[in-house]
Chains A and B, each alone.
Chain A
């Protein structure tokens, strides 16, 4: 080939140009990731070609100076190898690391100059290799000449052949496909298979094969394992995408309580076709009914939506297209917006966030006061007042001033800004106080309304007389309602009970709390006032005589109960409905009772029967007279009680002991006499006390405040095996778990329906039915 090159230099040049174009074309075509390597190589090729062109070297010379080139070439090969190695980085190819063509040239030049040879000597092989197309062309031309010599073909055929060649060049991969797959096959007709043709194929596919002589090595293929790994990964991704199509249906199946197969009943009972009302009334009755229905508007005459009546059907084609376009645009914009938002959301930069926050604040300040919550403001103000953030006495400010940095402009600005901020926050508060007064209407007005029912109302009531409103339950309800209102109003006025302990004076001006030594005293005073007021309010509530009577009487019954030592331990019915009236009761009580009697005649009998009544008091008038005498008398009761053994005291003692035993204990661990050294100024040493946690501390006992009851607090270890030691897995709290246990599923506790539903299997497959595979989506 080199010979040919020497023979016709001009032609070679032309061929080279064609080759160059070709390679460039290939470059342009290849856009896949694997092209990088090739791209670089082709870069090299073009470089060489260019040199060749520029210097117009003879290939003979090139042949002579084989060694010189090697050095150069090895450098090249090094870069190539580097590139190759970089390419093996399979994660992603950093575009910035790829050397652009121009740079390669530049570098090349520099290298060449460094080597001292302004004349660049090229290896003959390279020339031949890198201009295979050239040689090819030569071959072609040679062929053409041969054929001309043959004189069998005309020029047109030559031209067509040339054209076909060109076509072949543009789709070089396809050349191989022309011949059939057979290694021994030789074309029997048509043109001969020239070496150039073969070379042409090789060149496009694997240009490096021909560079065997050069020191440019092949990129080392990745290790098998890694290659496979890549393949697996790719395959996995594809598979994953495929499998994900089922996700929805799987989810739905999982969520379903019961899966039934086959999914649908084959029998449809509500088939519309099986039952269709006739349009035309058949009988008189039908027509009558129709008329009635129409008359009464039960049946709506709304026609079904036919396709023609759907809005979109009325549009013209252009309109429709326009609309779809609009929609598409909207969707696109939305999508972009979402994408942007997502990206912005992901930004983790602190400074960015800071800036964003500041900007937002600025924006807010611009439209300030308009939409900021009052409460928010209030809170901020409070925080400002509490903190010393924006004052001159912060650590930072102090150091700044101290070190004289405050003269520095920037620092001064910052401090000023800080102070201004503080000022602003404080000023706002003042501003609000002035505005606020008008709003404070409410409570007192309501009070006035509540306290004195209007005259009109009174009149109305009197008119109603003994109607519905006069009835007891109505009165009661009304009273209750009124009391509730009163309570609410009181609450509003006096504040909720829980505020009591606050030392701060929170009387009227809620704007600022006053922390003064006198505040506590004032608060106390206020408490007494408040209590009195409440008392009065309550008294007012109890207008009726009955209610007023209640209080003293309560006390009376108490004192009466105290007289009876036997009953003290037994009387648990203090809050009971039965009110006891007997000889000892005061006059007021009796009066009250009389009043009540008048009101509720039917209760009289109940009232008569007194406390301490026995099972047989009244109803057994005829028999056992002597037993009647026995009852009631406290003395008798006490005598009859088993006075000998003081069982109650014993029980209390036992309870006390149990409490001690099961409660926390404090043990003095110190040795007796240890640290008791007396004399001089020696202080007595502290005792070493060890606290031993018992089963249940006294304050937490279940039987605390329960007289006559001892409840065992010891842990029943045998029961523990029927309990869960910790909250079991899917649940997060004990409450959730116990909630899940709440519903029994046994048929003893639930209805049959519930039982069946709760014990239904998760999958029900009809025997012998074919279960269709799951559908995508």
Chain B
């Protein structure tokens, strides 16, 4: 058995903790039996290539349920469209550049609301559930509820073009042409932080789902990492030579894909801050996204290519799709579904991408099949479990750990006293002062002065007594030394009268 410490009690405790950890791991391993769904990818036979499969071919082969999820919305008037899925993937929010916003349950085709804002819409974003959504409009950011009623106009967020939402911190983040990154707490309504990036209009913004750090892409090719508690970026990455077009970050926070206007598509390891791989796109990519299972969708021109290059360098993509005579604006993978939604100039289309979605969901975390009651409860729970904005760091594991600047060992009182510099001994300080009140107030001084001048009977008497005493003392002293007492001259003169 391992020995952790000389302290027997501590050792026993640590051993017990270790055992618990082992047990927990074992039982976690055992619970894998509950994950019954298996994820799979398209498989090609013989000369076939997966990237040559057309959507129509796939639709023919898949089950009816999945086939139904493939759809196209032709909305040519108000495009290009951007889109956002709610966290559980049930609802879809679309925003046309020319002011068309709609929220609906995309599987059932049930429309929640449809708005025509008559104003430019830059971005749309669901908040913690499908009940509220934020829309970045021409000047301000607005918050609407499910029915399409305008709840708030966030007047602090001017000229925002990008929106994101941190679900565990309940923070709405906006960035845009002003170059400011703003964090707005939607539970309290406070503006938590605003950071000036000093890098011009922000091109793109994405959150790192693992540590809630915001990644901002700028015109000079830099990607900056922000947390609300630091006014300067946590890190800066020189990602590409031209402006950054879009960023996507993996669910486990390990990989970042950056699409640049210089036609590069780079894969970064953002835990070690190292570039892993680099690809070229034929034209500059507009949008990238990473699915729960690590498939990367790249939208460039009318094309969408889906890659599986996070784990290994690939020479050919996984899938391909083209929407003719259109420009892909946004692509987003649907959580818990093998579907990729893409907004383009002419509307919305959803594409089947086998193997993209997480097959097993944790209903305690995000439940795609939740009832209204469950939704309400999870909302309350999320409010109670809300993390503070200060907790956002590059490495979330440092929360609760010991400060790295501190000593690695527990300091004994002796060590502590050694560490503290000895106080400079000030002589004045070291003198013990009596706890009485000072006697030198101005009034007292004046009084004392008065008293000095008074000559009364008592003062005279005391003076006389003191004199006498002094005399006697002197005599005694003289006597002891054997000095003859000085004859009083007067005594001599008057002596004859005795």
Contact = CB atoms under 8 A, between A and B. Distances in A.
A706 B410 contact: no
Contacts of A463: none
Interface in A632-651: 637, 640-642, 645, 647-648, 650-651
Nearest to B5: A732
Secondary structure of the A contact surface, majority rule: loop
Interface stretch (B68-76, B268-276, B331-339, B458-466): B268-276
A758 B27 CA distance: 13
Given A651-B222, A725-B406, A578 B238 contact: no
A750 B24 contact: yes
Most B CB within 10 A of own CB, among A606, A615, A630, A737: A615
B378 to A, nearest CB: 12
B399 to A, nearest CB: 5
A734 B409 contact: yes
Contacts of A712: 230, 232-235
A718 interface: yes
Given A712-B233, A734-B408, A570 B14 contact: no
Contacts of B307: 615
Interface in B215-259: 220-222, 227, 229-230, 232-239, 241-242
Interface in A686-727: 702-703, 706-712, 714-716, 718-727
B315 A606 contact: yes
Contacts of A718: 229-230, 390
B409 A748 contact: no
Interface in A731-768: 731-743, 747-748, 750-751, 753-754, 757-758
A613 B315 contact: yes
Nearest to A754: B24
Contacts of B27: 750-751, 753-754
Contact of A733 (B266, B273, B282, B409): B409
Nearest to A742: B21
B73 to A, nearest CB: 25
B410 A723 contact: no
Contact of A642 (B241, B266, B409): B241
A572 B276 contact: yes
Nearest to B364: A748
A751 B237 CA distance: 39
A640 B263 contact: yes
Given A724-B402, A732-B5, A754-B24, A710 B230 contact: no
A754 B23 contact: yes
A719 B17 contact: no
Contact of A750 (B28, B233, B266, B399): B28
B238 A708 contact: yes
Q: In which size bucket is the chain B interface?
A: 35 or more
B369 interface: no
A429 B88 CA distance: 79
Contacts of A707: 238
A609 B279 CA distance: 13
Contact of B410 (A710, A716, A727, A753): A727
A231 interface: no
B399 A722 contact: yes
A561 to B, nearest CB: 13
A728 B402 CA distance: 8
Interface stretch (A345-353, A355-363, A616-624): A616-624
Nearest to A624: B282
A733 B6 CA distance: 12
A723 B12 contact: no
B316 A736 contact: no
A744 to B, nearest CB: 8
Nearest to A623: B322
Nearest to A606: B315
Contacts of B278: 570-572
B298 interface: yes
B18 to A, nearest CB: 8
Nearest to A622: B52
B361 interface: no
Contacts of A732: 5, 7, 10, 409-410
B408 A619 contact: no
A651 B238 contact: yes
B390 A641 contact: no
A723 B264 CA distance: 40
B230 A716 contact: yes
A751 B24 contact: yes
A730 interface: yes
Contacts of B28: 750-751, 754
Contact of B13 (A606, A624, A730): A730
B362 interface: yes
Nearest to B232: A712
A647 B217 CA distance: 14
Instruction: Choose among B227, B241, B265 the residue with the greatest number of A CB atoms under 10 Å from its CB.
Output: B241
A709 B403 contact: no
B31 interface: yes
Contacts of B365: 748
Given A619-B51, A642-B262, A716-B393, A724 B298 contact: no
Given A651-B222, A751-B31, A736 B400 contact: no
Contacts of B274: 572, 706
Contacts of B234: 711-712
B411 A709 contact: no
B315 A731 contact: no
A302 interface: no
Contact of B230 (A650, A651, A714): A714
Interface in B300-333: 300, 305, 307, 313, 315-317, 320
Interface in A249-274: 255, 257
A654 B222 CA distance: 12
B476 interface: no
A627 interface: yes
A706 to B, nearest CB: 5
A614 interface: yes
Contact of B400 (A631, A640, A715, A723): A723
A757 B405 CA distance: 35
A714 B232 contact: yes
B400 A726 contact: no
B409 A727 contact: yes
Interface string B1-43: 0001101011011101110110110011011000000000000
Nearest to A722: B399
A606 B317 CA distance: 13
B151 interface: no
A606 B233 CA distance: 41
Contacts of B49: 619
Interface in B401-422: 401-403, 405-411
A727 B406 contact: yes
A187 interface: no
Contacts of A620: 320
Contact of B14 (A578, A619, A725, A736): A736
B131 interface: no
- Most chain A CB neighbours (cut-off 10 Å) among B7, B16, B23, B239: B23
Given A712-B235, A722-B390, 10 more contacts: A571-B278, A572-B276, A606-B315, A703-B235, A714-B232, A716-B230, A722-B399, A727-B407, A743-B17, A747-B364
Interface of A: 255, 257, 570-573, 576, 578, 606, 609, 612-616, 618-620, 624, 627, 630-631, 637, 640-642, 645, 647-648, 650-651, 654, 702-703, 706-712, 714-716, 718-743, 747-748, 750-751, 753-754, 757-758
12 contacts: A647-B222, A650-B220, A716-B227, A724-B403, A725-B402, A725-B406, A726-B402, A726-B406, A728-B410, A729-B410, A740-B13, A748-B364
Q: Which 9 A-B pairs have the closest CB atoms?
A: A708-B238, A718-B229, A727-B410, A614-B280, A710-B236, A718-B390, A754-B24, A751-B27, A609-B315
